[in-house]
Structure 1
Amino acid sequence: MTHHQPPSPQFFLTAPTACPYLEGQFERKVFTHLIGDRAKDLNDLLTQGGFRRSQNIAYRPACETCRACVSTRILVNEFEPTRNMKRVAARNGDLVGDMHDAEPSTEQYSLFRRYLEARHKRGGMLEMSVLDYAMMVEDSHVETKVIEYRRRGPDTFITGKGVGDLVAVALSDRMGDGLSMVYSFFDPELEDRSLGTFMILDHIARARSMGLPHVYLGYWVNGSRKMAYKVRFQPQEHLGPKGWERFRIDEVGQDK
């Protein structure tokens, strides 16, 4: 089926629902469709304007009483890991990520289910079937990649691929000015590896090797403990009324 992008995107507004991050708040989103030949350029433009992609939808918060969600991107060429981040990288030195086209697999879905059941028991994603997961990965009209992380093997230097069980997965978009981390998950039994942090560090290294200046992390939610980790990756920029501006926080979310 051929999709035809209209001359200009049409935007829609969702009804208010309970905020998943801040108790007592209600969220609304403005969204548009990312389809057709212009989807990639539109996704770049909208992401730079504070939108996020989910399948073929680009959305951003449009809450009536709250402005806590802030678009965040890491400045790749200036990034310096903290001592703790260096320890995380060393701890996962036996892992290698294989980046390929966005194709789902039963192995990915099995890991996805284990991750949700351990980390997000109350989230709506827990109801996702294998077909829903396949749509999350495949339903993209932009340049989307899957990175699968496995332990290094004897032939990894030659093949670039790891061996053994899948331990983490990242679904990411390659944009004109960076990598946008759409969704990631990992083996919940390997919590001591800090695989979420490791995947962000890996994306920073990949973006640097690709000559891309940014890694987009989505929204940092001021006041949400679940999102506090995002401000640890310095320097970074936040999108505000005046555009993208440097943001630094001295205490909250920092590690040494």
Structure 2
Amino acid sequence: MTDQSYRFPRFFVTAPSACPYLPGRTERKVFAELKGDDAPAMAEALGRIGFRRSQNVVYRPSCDGCNACISVRVPTARFKPGRSQKKLLAQHADLDVHACEPWATEEQWALLRRYLATRHPDGGMAAMDSHDFADMVEQSPVDTVMVEYREPSTDGRLGRLVGCCLTDKQADGLSMIYSFYDPDLADRSGLGNFIILDHITRAARAGLAFVYLGYWIEGCSRMAYKTKFKPVEALIGGQWRDVE
């Protein structure tokens, strides 16, 4: 943190509930509301110590007897894509990428529904409706964009929307809040990984140091992809460290 003075928010703790990632465990979160002129600076400061943003709230796991959720980020200047990652960048290089204002659209909502139905039918977001989606996108007190990935335009029309990522722009990098994509396109395999690679590439070009990927959980197959972007730093013991 800098010498700037912050009015720290009031923190709250949720009641324990079933962990959605590790069977047989419970989860608990500490959270705070982001509001006022300090919200962007506060979100960044808390993000560097492992908090994540959701709408106008920041949260971090605070589970009894468990610290499996580990914040991870990619240092963009040191990132070296592997052979398969280079192939992904080339495979999807034709996509048109636009950083749009954070306004929810019917096209984005339809894409998210297809993604959730295929990839996370039993997840916590499966029950959300269009109003919940609009709140997720539009209720942000920080500098947020919806990055759209479209197939090339034809006849002056926008190409098909195949991927999206709700992204926060920070002084030290990009924080990927939530990404989703069309899971049924045989010729667009690996879109999820490509979206991360594209964020790393663009952040590096802009001179931004990091891309924040959220939480990684060892032993959780749904989170394994986050350690494929090497080097990757993990927040362990209050310090960001390279991990294998």
State whether structure 2 residue 173 is matched by structure 1 residue 175.
no
Counterpart residue number, 1:24: 24
CA distance in 2 between counterparts of 1:228 and 1:90 reads 23
Matches for 1:159-170 after TM superposition, within 5 Å: 163-170=158-165
CA distance in 2 between counterparts of 1:242 and 1:184 reads 27
Equivalent position amino acid for 1:83 in 2:
R
Q: Which structure 2 segments of 5+ residues have no match?
A: 1-5
Counterpart residue number, 1:159: none
3-state DSSP of counterpart to 1:70: strand
Counterpart residue number, 2:239: 243
CA distance in 2 between counterparts of 1:115 and 1:236 reads 26
Counterpart residue number, 1:215: 211
Counterpart residue number, 1:71: 71
CA distance in 2 between counterparts of 1:240 and 1:231 reads 15
Give the conservation status (yes or no) of the 8 Å contact 2:49–2:238.
no
Runs of 4+ more than 2 Å apart: 152-156
Counterpart residue number, 2:149: 149
CA distance in 1 between counterparts of 2:139 and 2:16 reads 26
Equivalent position amino acid for 1:170 in 2:
C
CA distance in 2 between counterparts of 1:154 and 1:188 reads 22
- Note the C-alpha offset of 1:200: 0.3
Counterpart residue number, 1:98: 98
Equivalent position amino acid for 2:120 in 1:
H
State whether structure 2 residue 70 is matched by structure 1 residue 33.
no
Equivalent position amino acid for 1:247 in 2:
V
Post-superposition CA distance 1:98-145 (Å, at most 9, x none): 012211100000111111111111112111111110000000000001
State whether structure 2 residue 181 is matched by structure 1 residue 186.
yes
Normalised by the size of structure 2, how large is the TM-score? 0.94
Q: Which structure 1 segments of 5+ residues have no match?
A: 1-5, 157-161, 249-256
Percent of residue pairs identical: 48
Give the conservation status (yes or no) of the 8 Å contact 2:7–2:38.
no
Counterpart residue number, 1:3: none
State whether structure 2 residue 117 is matched by structure 1 residue 121.
no
Post-superposition CA distance 1:56-95 (Å, at most 9, x none): 1100000002111100000100100011111111111221
Question: Matched residue pairs, number?
Answer: 238
Give the conservation status (yes or no) of the 8 Å contact 1:92–1:193.
no
Counterpart residue number, 1:58: 58
Give the conservation status (yes or no) of the 8 Å contact 1:68–1:223.
no
CA distance in 1 between counterparts of 2:38 and 2:238 reads 27
3-state DSSP of counterpart to 2:176: strand
CA distance in 1 between counterparts of 2:49 and 2:225 reads 22
Normalised by the size of structure 1, how large is the TM-score? 0.89
CA RMSD of aligned residues (A): 1.6
CA distance in 2 between counterparts of 1:136 and 1:95 reads 25
- Note the C-alpha offset of 1:153: 3.3
